[in-house]
Structures are given as structure tokens and as C-alpha cells.
Amino acid sequence: MENIVKPSAHQVLEVIQETASEVTIRVASDITPKHGQFLQLSMPKIGECPISVSAFGEGWLEFTIRAIGRVTDKLFALKPGDTLFLRGAYGNGWPMEQLLGQHLVVIAGGTGVAPVRSLLQQAAQEPHLFPSVHFIAGFRNSENVLFKQELETWRKPFNAFYTLDNEETTGFAKGFVTQHLDKIPLAQLEDNYQVLIVGPSAMMHFTSLGCLELGIPQEKMWLSFERKMSCAVGKCGHCRVDEVYVCLDGPVFSYAAARHMID
């Protein structure tokens, strides 16, 4: 029987400096995750942490990491040729069976762009999957913008709108994503759409409320709680909310199911 909590060694292929505090690490792997799933990344004698897959392809995975603690600081310092240990993929990702054929609305904040990046890449490469894609991304400032080249590329196939919390610069408006929800052409989408929301807790909370005010039904809104992940197999209890184990039942939930969960 396969040991689901045993990590395996993988070689770091490339390290891409996204910002001063964030990198994207490409790792050699035959693991094939679903959009929105996460893996446990670990280093011996240091620890492990759950990280969403930000992209994947034949023979490789990418993880976008912010240096915010003991484990992520060590991950941040990895170089091509180093060894990283992985286990997974875990969790229920974005509900593709309900998204395909629908207009797709994606609202992401900061590193929350990472859990939707692989889905957006597929949507750009296979435009027949969704009638249209509407993408709103917000970042703290111009120094914290992730995936800059892809953001520009996505302006063509998507109705893309980018904003910065406290400044305005070329290609970016000013304000929180909640101030720009009116950029979603809901009247044109009729009832044939789904909304994905991911980012910091406060951003997801107020974005969800803003979407409700626009008349978006709860069952059409999907949120990722990957920030609550811990052991990934429902044993440690750190992700438990009442009777829900986020690592087993999520990290993606409909707003109707997640509205009472405390993040």
C-alpha cells in the first residue's frame, strides 16, 4: 500500500525571482495535479508547508512561494540542482465539471493569483473551454506584482483588469479589487457563469460580500481556503472547522458551504 504521507525527492529545475519576497520554483516531477490542488513541500530537519501548484506540465510542477517563515525562508533560498521533497497532490481543486462551458470570472489578490494560474493558462491555450474569461487581479503595489509577463499576455484572450491598492501606474488602476467589481459584465453573462475568489482572508471576505451585493448567487461563488492547510490528510486537526476538515473537503468550497467557516 502506498504511504500517502511519505515525501519523495525531486530536483529543482529553475528558480524565478518574481518579487523581492516571492519566487517561483520549478521542480522535476511526474505528479499530475488538478487545478487548485496543493502539495506539501518539505526539507529535512527544517519542516514542511502546504503550497498550491501555480503551474504544471509534462515532467514538472511550479510553486510560487513567499518568504514568511522558517520553512519558506529555506525554500526561498533553493537553487537549480537542489533537492526538494514533495508529497501530494492533495485536496479538492476548482470544480472543473461545473466550470466548463460557463463564462469564467476570476478575482484574485496577491499570491492568490498562484492557485488560479494553471487554470488561466489552460483557458488561454484552449479558448473553447469557456465562452469568456473575466479576470480581476489586485496587488499591494507595483513592487509586488506577480507573473508580470503572463498578466500582459492574458490581456488579449481575457477581459483582464489589474489594480494596485495604493498607487496607479501604467496598466494598473488604483484601489482594492472590491472597488472594481463593476468591471464584471454580469448582464452580458446572463445566468451562465461561475466566480472564483482567492487571496488573503479579508480580501475573500469583502469580495464575496461585494459579489453578493451585485446579485451573484452563493452557489456560483467558489473560494480557496488553502491558507488553512496543515498536515493535508486530516490527522492534525489544525484545519478543522466544526465538522469540516478543510484539507480533505477543500481547499475549494462554494460560498454557500463556506460562508460560516472562520478563516
Give the per-residue SS3 of 72-84.
Answer: HHHHHCCCCCCEE
**Confidence (pLDDT) at 173:** 92
- pTM for the model stands at 0.91
For 156-165, the pLDDT digits (tens) are 999 999 999 9
Neighbours of 195 (CB within 10 A): 26
Beta strands (DSSP E) in 146-211 are: 159-164, 173-174, 193-198
Q: Identify the band that residue 168 occupies on the pLDDT scale cut at 50, 70 and 90.
A: confident
**Confidence (pLDDT) at 85:** 93
Q: Identify the band that residue 126 occupies on the pLDDT scale cut at 50, 70 and 90.
A: very high
Q: Which domains does the chain have, with CATH numbers?
A: 8-90 (2.40.30.10), 96-258 (3.40.50.80)
The Cα–Cα gap between 187 and 166 comes to 30
Give Cα 31 distance to the centre of its chain: 18
Largest CA distance in the chain: 55
Residue 262 confidence (pLDDT) above 70: no
CB 252 within 8 A of CB 218: no
Phi/psi for 183 (5° steps) reads -75, -10
Residue 28 confidence (pLDDT) above 60: yes
> Could you give the count of Cα atoms lying within 13 Å of 221 in the half-sphere of its Cβ?
25
Strands 133-139 and 159-164: parallel
Q: Per the structure block, which three cell numbers stand in for 17?
A: 525571482
Phi/psi for 124 (5° steps) reads -70, -35
Q: How far is CA 182 from CA 5, 6, 114, 189, 207, in A?
A: 44, 46, 23, 13, 12
CB 231 within 8 A of CB 238: yes
CA dihedral 228, 210, 126, 101 (to 10 degrees): 100
Residue 133 confidence (pLDDT) above 90: yes
Neighbouring residues of 30: CB distance < 8 A, sequence distance ≥ 6 = 59
The Cα–Cα gap between 200 and 173 comes to 20
Neighbours of 201 (CB within 10 A): 12
